[in-house]
Amino acid sequence: MLWLSTFVLVLVQLSAAKPLAGKRWDDVAVKHAWVEPPRGWELHSTPPEDHLFDMRIALKQNKLDELISSLFEVSDPTHARYGKHLSKEEVDALVAPHPDSVEAVEAWLEHHGINPADAEFRSAGGEWITIRVSIAQAERMLNTKYGVYHHAASDSYVVRTMEYSLPAELHSHVDVVTPTTYFSTLRSMRATSFVLPQTSSLVGDAESFAADISPLAVPASCGSTVTPACLRAMYNTTSYVPKATATNKLGVAGYLAEFANDADLQTFFQKFRTDAVGGTFSHVQVNGGQNSQTNPGIEANLDIQYTEAISFPTPNIYYSTGGSPPFNQDSNTPTNTNEPYLDWLNFILNQTTIPQTFTTSYGDDEQTVPQDYATTVCNMFAQLGARGSSIMFSSGDSGVGGGDCLTNDGTNRKIFQPAFPASCPFVTTVGGTTRVPEVAVSFSGGGFSRYFAQPSYQAASVAPFLKNLGTKFSGLFNATGRAYPDVSAAANGFQVVIGGRTTSVGGTSASSPTVAGVVALLNDFLISEGKPPLGFLNPLIYSTAKTGFNDITSGSNPGCGQTGFTAGAGWDPVTGLGTPDFLRLQALVG
């Protein structure tokens, strides 16, 4: 008996004293691997071994479940915590890693000769560690080979890998390591084919564009030539005058070296919203983002002109997130790793005060984003929501999928192609309509995620659609996945000033800023009444605020060689719950 307990004691001491350096770092397991390089990318060359870059390690968030349940509670209009959004410090505490995770990752870094104290960056919660490494060092750490990959369509080069591994014991401590297998085919959701040179007859008639249009008599011309007056009438914002402009803000996240132009906004106001002439927006540059006023971007101008058109005089901010300089073979200086969502999210989550409304008109095909990466980014949007921001994303411009819609898992099956971040359950995804009265626009992105499960807030709304659909398209989409879009807005024929000239632009890129403008006005109303802003919208809009939307009941979104889904009564994966009616929503949320 005595023997036995002594023996146990010795064993306990031995294991407690086991030095960290003795951990088995050579027992590695694959973290993520591609079967083939993402479509459009090809291996170009081998990067120099001494090329330096910043490796980011996302440590597992210890209280992620609590963050997500807090997000749902503060966003659920029937919950006692509704509107009690979290502070930056509260969110940082929930996303902090467990001390064991920090210890394990730091021991692994030390094993590779990296002093954790030399980290380039640590997020306030400690869940991100960025370290500067050489290619050779990264290849040893991740048991991989990096390559320089070329994307012909955009003529861009990135340093990435087809797969990476981590020591088995780190898998429970690390969510994702980047840059590795996310190649970013990030594209603007503005359908370039819808950019048409404006005819002079439409440009000349400034007076009629600037004039208010009665919501009771929205002219049919608004269905093809969309101006601020059209949208303000269609969505009933014309009569609302913002009051909380000292507190309320609207943010536009821009990528791919797109810059919003100050002079074009003035021209736009002179033509289409004369009461706003002189109104401005702020430029914030993130991680090497630029602001070249000589090079106006179509997407950037569309976004800022239409958020301003609806929300003026609410302060608007355009965030220009760097993606350049591109990889330079001959340079040993660390290059930007070109992972725009992470750069922007890490920047914005580090701010104490953030805009109450955001819009982003960019996305990738979900299958081109590694699932570990997509999950990490999606959870970062949950942080923004928990802090009280509403996040709008365009649903995409390819209906149920563009191109051949083949899977990239080696089986080459044809399936509908959901878009990310549109498919993230913690954002509000915006599809498109056209004409007056509105019908679904055929390119409106919509469908079901293959990564994210259907969140409970939309279960009751999505079920009737699926029941009606029966077995149609079975095998082509994932009926248990997060369904989108959530809502929609006009998407065709937006009059945008670019380089001084008015151009007609379309895409769900136009719909997302439109809905963001309406949401910013709702936030203005709530804040001016001394109430909290709306925050994460989905639990609200699928329940008590459902009747604040105009149900769009015709049209469809073909793609992948299929007829696509059909809009009908209630929620559908073409137009979601419908288009916003500000006055009705104001009464419902007030």
Ligand X SMILES: *[C@@H]1O[C@H](CO)[C@@H](O)[C@H](O)[C@H]1NC(C)=O
Binding residues for Ca(2+): 551-552, 570, 572
Tokens for 360, please give them.
């982003």
Nearer CB in complex with ligand X: 50/212: 212
Nearer CB in complex with ligand X: 191/284: 284
Nearest distance, CB of residue 530 and ligand X, angstroms: 24
When binding is defined by CB under 6 A, the residue of 480, 529, 531, 569 that contacts ligand X is 480
Cis peptide before 421 (omega within 30 of 0): yes
* Listed ranges 63-71, 333-341, 477-485, 512-520: which one lies at the site for ligand X (CB under 6 A): 477-485
Helices (H) and strands (E) in the chain, counts: 16, 27
Distance CA 103, CA 98 (A): 9
Give residues 101-140 in contact with ligand X (rule: CB under 6 A). Answer: 121
**Which amino acids are annotated as binding site, given as ranges?**
551-552, 570, 572
Distance CA 222, CA 217 (A): 11
Nearest distance, CB of residue 583 and ligand X, angstroms: 4
The Cβ of residue 52 has, within 10 Å, a number of other Cβ atoms equal to 17
Site string for ligand X, 346-385 (x = CB under 6 A): -x--x-----------------------------------
When binding is defined by CB under 6 A, the residue of 144, 156, 184, 236 that contacts ligand X is 236
Nearest distance, CB of residue 351 and ligand X, angstroms: 7
Strands (E) in 419-500, as ranges, are 419-420, 428-434, 439-440, 447-453, 481-484, 487-490, 494-498
478 belongs to the binding site for ligand X (CB under 6 A): yes
Tokens for 559, please give them.
């793609």
End-to-end CA distance of the chain: 72
Of the residues 92, 258, 303, 343, only one is catalytic, namely: 303
Tokens for 516, please give them.
């963001």
Distance CA 57, CA 372 (A): 12
Residue 418 Ramachandran class (φ > 0 left, ψ -120 to 50 alpha, else beta): beta
Nearer CB in complex with ligand X: 7/121: 121
Distance CA 501, CA 281 (A): 20
279 belongs to the binding site for ligand X (CB under 6 A): no
* Listed ranges 143-151, 304-312, 495-503, 576-584: which one lies at the site for ligand X (CB under 6 A): 576-584
* Listed ranges 62-70, 223-231, 511-519, 578-586: which one lies at the site for ligand X (CB under 6 A): 578-586
* Listed ranges 6-14, 178-186, 202-210, 473-481: which one lies at the site for ligand X (CB under 6 A): 473-481
Give residues 292-351 in contact with ligand X (rule: CB under 6 A). Answer: 347, 350
Identify residue 54 by its one-letter amino acid code. Answer: D
Is 106 one of the catalytic residues? no
Place of tokens 């994307």: 151
The Cβ of residue 298 has, within 10 Å, a number of other Cβ atoms equal to 19
Give residues 57-96 in contact with ligand X (rule: CB under 6 A). Answer: none
Q: Can you tell me whether residue 135 is helix, strand or coil?
A: helix
Site string for ligand X, 200-229 (x = CB under 6 A): ---------------x--x-----------
Handedness of CA 500, 396, 39, 565 (dihedral sign): negative
Distance CA 451, CA 60 (A): 18
Nearer CB in complex with ligand X: 215/499: 215
Percent helix, strand and coil across the chain, each to the nearest 5? 35, 25, 45
The conformation of residue 524, written as its DSSP 8-state character, comes to H
Q: Report the DSSP beta bridge partners of residue 576.
A: 572
When binding is defined by CB under 6 A, the residue of 223, 446, 481, 555 that contacts ligand X is 481
Q: Are 394 and 445 in contact (CB under 8 A)?
A: yes
Number of residues engaging ligand X in binding (CB under 6 A): 15
Nearest distance, CB of residue 587 and ligand X, angstroms: 7
Distance CA 218, CA 479 (A): 37
Nearer CB in complex with ligand X: 307/579: 579
435 belongs to the binding site for ligand X (CB under 6 A): no
Place of tokens 């094993």: 111
When binding is defined by CB under 6 A, the residue of 35, 453, 459, 460 that contacts ligand X is 453
* Listed ranges 138-146, 266-274, 501-509, 581-589: which one lies at the site for ligand X (CB under 6 A): 581-589
Q: Are 337 and 177 in contact (CB under 8 A)?
A: no
387 belongs to the binding site for ligand X (CB under 6 A): no
581 belongs to the binding site for ligand X (CB under 6 A): yes
Tokens for 384, please give them.
């923004």
407 belongs to the binding site for ligand X (CB under 6 A): no
Nearest distance, CB of residue 475 and ligand X, angstroms: 9
Nearer CB in complex with ligand X: 481/576: 481
Nearer CB in complex with ligand X: 218/419: 218
Return all residues near 313 (Cβ < 8 A) that are at least 6 apart: 242, 245, 276, 279
579 belongs to the binding site for ligand X (CB under 6 A): no
Q: Report the DSSP beta bridge partners of residue 501.
A: 498
Nearest distance, CB of residue 121 and ligand X, angstroms: 5
Nearer CB in complex with ligand X: 31/150: 31
Give residues 29-58 in contact with ligand X (rule: CB under 6 A). Answer: none
- Residue 345 phi, psi (nearest 5): -65, -45
Of the residues 92, 299, 308, 438, only one is catalytic, namely: 299
Of the residues 184, 394, 449, 509, only one is catalytic, namely: 509
- Residue 346 phi, psi (nearest 5): -65, -35
Nearer CB in complex with ligand X: 77/455: 455
Q: Can you tell me whether residue 245 is helix, strand or coil?
A: coil
The catalytic site residues sit at 299, 303, 509
Please give the residue ranges that form the binding site for ligand X (CB under 6 A). Answer: 121, 215, 218, 234, 236, 347, 350, 450, 453, 478, 480-481, 581, 583-584
